[in-house]
Structure 1
């Protein structure tokens, strides 16, 4: 709704009595529980006061606003409530529309679990940030969905990749909580009201830009197992495409780069279609399916990587690696009902950690708790009888001709990535600024044109020769005239006064100053592209950024951004890194980049700088075009 800047009237203070009344209305409307005080001797109202101040801080302000919404530009008016959380600037915390009060993302980041939380892939979140509504096929991490996500209820929306950080607020247009399956569903699920990146998010009293979302917000999900479960389930997602511009997005590429299990273990598999009963599975059947999928995954790695240590498995194996590489690709989800049933929440284990513990109890693996939040697999007994006697079964195969909904992962080869093997060339270009127009006009050159350094040098030579400015005693010395003095030596450099007082300058120094007085542009030429057919871009040529940083205490991740400028698809890069590094990857909008022209960031687990550099070199991007920052090294 706030894609366009609203007309906001002057702010006015809210009386404390009205602020408390509004906060109580929000608490009642959202059904929030008032926290009890930790101090038994404290006033009974301490918990209520704390909650009120957290939702609507003391000293909050309000203002009326008007804006337009919808395809018919309908006029909408309401009230914004502005406040500041501790150590933060004033921001819009709540917005009142048609009698309903909705929180902004700033309030959600400070007050976890006040709204039902829905999840969708990050690239769908990007569409929401462009003003689209969330379509039903775009819903993830369910069913079951939150009980409070009823028709007309306000909900928060987060990406599957960052499941604890709400990025948008909307209103349910259907009863989301009652959905049994989103595959094949049509229509809008959530009408978006506000998102990180819109005009409410960017508003501030001092003109400061919007605050970037945090990496994690504690309290939105129960524990780390739930977080990793949501992220792992994305690996097997296959949403049916509904509308190209509205969140019903096909995740056919989500499995690219993963193994082709059935062919690897059983090359004689019969691919003729078989009849599968479309019915929901019992808990016992789901438990067995997950265990068999794990055995299948282990056998696949044993067959595909016979000559590699540990069959190519990078021990210790994290929970997300186990789900995305050893379980999800091997689940027998042949029908919509089976696909809906085969979710970790519907097992008797309920989460990945307990599932790993069950495999340890069966003595198939050896596991260990790490950081108190997850169980990692330290070793697998490859000689276990259940693994040795495992018999492969038929896996679902994507029917691309009929739009089938279930699929086995397919490997993405280099042939699908047009950037592999490309040849790139960076060219520095200069555009004369207005004060240089007399110089270029004098030699009949376009004062508004684009030139390389090699093209500007002879133009300067022609000018000084035509004006007879070359010193008769030394041809390397040029006498200044008023045009050069005013246009080139304008006082922007420390030596300008000395040059003007002397009345002459060396020819090479003159050319350098003419270039410095031009506006810098650049062009990146691909393969056989010519400079004439390429539109120059302002500024110096960008560099790809690689950043290594530590998360969750001791986990290292590698981030790469800015590859699009060199015709490299971030998703294709992530697919290759997932395979070569045997690590989970994700692609999200770089924090702070424009929602309209986003820069995508590829994240891969582990210190994978060399792997990223190698993948970029394959795509024509040499190391000198890359900036590497290692934040994991401690400062001296």
Structure 2
């Protein structure tokens, strides 16, 4: 029923009278629930919403959601539990087991055929035609589907376990499941042994619903498919479940090649890949300290040390990846080096660590010998930071948008809830799909979109709601982006992407007046872009031959600003735009540069 996208009509908080009625209906529908379990399922004070929707075949369905997770749905005045509820109360319904590969067919909208049902030595649960049942996977009591029996247990056995057994209404990974937190089923141990025995031997397994051959049942553990390996893919407005192309537990061709290579490396020198990465990490670290870092550069941001010094010391043909080492993180490695009294690391700015001191007299640094292949590179003149150096990599910055509570109804139909993070292209595609699905394109002029109640509540101000009946496409999309919560993703070279709330503050350049009519250039927010303020100040000082200093940013003890004499915006623009390759839109104040005098 929910294998394809549905249309949400309304989503409102439940009233007190409706809550009491729901509790009474749940008690009638599921009399085995204790009073405590009923209070947990339908709480008195916690958030509980009623969502009215239309399934893809036109069925009107009422969904009850607790803390945004759908717990029950009502169809033709009959209540049904969702998989979220059954995971908390696995014994609420009589359960029938099937094999993991059958789940893929159920998620695609198929009913459960009897050849796909496992019959253990204990027999089948006794049910009548029309009984609501749970479907589980072999070896796990956590239900993955909810269905109605099409015949009684006696009729199933009399039919030789052939034909349709259950009409499936709701499956783990369908769109109803997608309304919630999209959790994977828990692991609940079976009540007793489940011998791999089937009483039916149907030859046409593929047609009938997916029963595994008897030879495979002898190795039942291999059938315990990892549900986390299943993924949802959108196609033709229908969600279908797909497995990895390889069999569960079998690596792909590339992974197998990597594994073979790693085994060969182990057999050559007796070390594991992790031990080899540890050795490369130590080599790059001591090489950088001995040949690259100067005392004048201290304090030095740890990220700058890794990017500009350690990576530069990595031998050609090898790649330094700290995640593949035993340390996993640079901070843990530097902490170990600090315990060895080789370096001293401090958090000078909030959340930003710097190397403040290096013990060049340490025996490990003195005894380190630069590999011959790198000796020529080490002896070559070093580029100064920011002076023609190409080692700095500008971060990749991507604006993102978070779904707010006000905008949630507009994005709910696409399976996104409050707090979902989307790119601008994602937002655009979702809005276009929503407009077309709800047939909101103005027939008289396709450049306009008709405003329905949801668009009205989400995008229009109160003063506009009675006046605006349609919007241009561009206006619709721009209003949507404005109403969403701003986020941004930053990816620094060699590091994982980081998503943060709010807009990214630009590098702020201002000109201030000092005594005797002197001007100074002030630069803020360099740390946000992975730049070391001290090194930027040193570079500017050398280029313009003017004094530069680092001061604490007023009102922020954990931030600093660079101050240099004179209006140096032209030099600063060349450094930031041409050499550091930072996007111009993230630099504020370049328009205050002095005009260059024309030569006659």
Interval containing the TM-score (normalised by the shorter chain): 0.3 to 0.5
TM-score by length of 1: 0.36
